[in-house]
Amino acid sequence: MGRLLGLELYNFKSYRGLSSIGFGTSHFTSIIGPNGSGKSNMMDAISFVLGIRSSHLRSSRLKDLIYRGRIMKSNIAASRNADAIKVNDDANESADGMDRDDNDEEDLMLWQFMRNQTVKF
């Protein structure tokens, strides 16, 4: 079973610039925070990188997914790496989600998913 280790965002929705969020190695992760802090946008980023269309991400157009802040300076590509997620595929994890005793670093496989989009304004 895989496990989400972290999320790296670059100008995605409310996340300006490069934002890296690590989820650690726990079997349980929760995303908490006050209203308007970007929890739903983080979930949208995970869905986006896994291939969900922008129309299903609380946005009607792809360019709505890009942080624009106060001023967009020119017609440059607004997204370098839209976002990336890292998933740890732990070969030593049993079907019930518990780690096996022979947990060896060499058996861990790290998958990185990235999706790049270029949008001109």
Average pLDDT of the residues in 105-121 = 63
Question: pTM for this one?
Answer: 0.56
Around Cβ 72, how many Cβ atoms within 10 Å?
13
CB 9 within 8 A of CB 46: no
Instruction: Residue count of the chain, please give it.
Output: 121
Q: Of 74 and 87, which is predicted with more confidence?
A: 87
HSE-CB at 3 with a 13 A cutoff on CA atoms is 21
Q: How many CA atoms lie within 13 A of 28 on its CB side?
A: 1
8-state DSSP, 68: -
Beta strand residue intervals within the chain, DSSP E: 2-12, 15-22, 83-90, 108-115
**Helices marked H in the chain:** 39-49
Instruction: Name the token pair of 121.
Output: 């304004």
What is the rounded distance in angstroms from the CA atom of residue 42 to the CA atom of residue 39? 5
Confirm if 15 and 21 have CB atoms less than 8 A apart.
no
Q: What pLDDT does 61 receive? A: 72
**Which one is predicted more confidently, 17 or 88?**
17
Identity of residue 70: R
pLDDT level of residue 34 (50, 70, 90 thresholds): very high
